[in-house]
Amino acid sequence: MLLEWRNHPDVRKFMFTQHEISLDEHISWFESASKDSSRFLLIIEEQDNPIGYVQFCKLSTEEAADWGFYVRPNAPKGSGRKICTIALNFAFGTLNLQKICGQAIESNVASARIHKSLGFTEEHVVQNQSQTEGVYHNLYRFSLCANRWFNIGLDRKNSNEKI
């Protein structure tokens, strides 16, 4: 299921590696990632229906992590915000992380918008950082600290969702 989502053109076009992932490549990635204690791979469900994927990778400080996410192709409107809210509650609550770092290539306007709407701060723009199909793109870097997340008080009532 995750490989199918990742290879969907609507998801793949916003990835740093945009080629279609083979089954062997996916299995190799999953075997490695699932054994790595610094990584957390999450499928977010709503009423037992998978709606998205989120991953956290702890940084060397152990209190900070990079994250990435995408919604299931053709997921209901609002699924992106929903999976992000659930995952951030997990990261800051259960994992006790203090900082989440994210990034988005400039063509991924939806990702930049959701980061900002969730309270992330745009830390900086790295010029011509990502190349896809021979074209260089700027990379936007975002961060969110736990105290800001808890202070902004976004709606955290997600009783029908689970990780």
Domains and CATH numbers, the chain: 2-162 (3.40.630.30)
Give the separation between CA 62 and CA 38, rounded to whole angstroms. Answer: 8
**In what helix (H) or strand (E) does residue 110 lie, and over which residues does it extend?**
helix 109-117
Average pLDDT over residues 126-131: 66
- What would the pLDDT profile of 48-104 be if each residue is shown by its tens digit? 899 999 999 999 877 999 999 999 999 999 999 999 999 999 999 999 999 999 998
On whether the CB atoms of residues 72 and 49 are closer than 8 A, the answer is no
Q: What is the pLDDT of residues 5-28, one digit of tens each?
A: 999 988 888 887 778 999 999 999
Which helix (H) or strand (E) segment is 141 a member of?
strand 135-145
Amino acid in position 14: F
Is residue 157 predicted with pLDDT exceeding 50? no
Among 36-50, 97-111, 119-133, the minimum mean pLDDT is found in 119-133
Interatomic CA distance for residues 35 and 60, integer angstroms: 17
- Compute the distance between CA of residue 1 and CA of residue 12 in angstroms, rounded to an integer: 14
Tell me the chain's radius of gyration from C-alpha atoms: 15
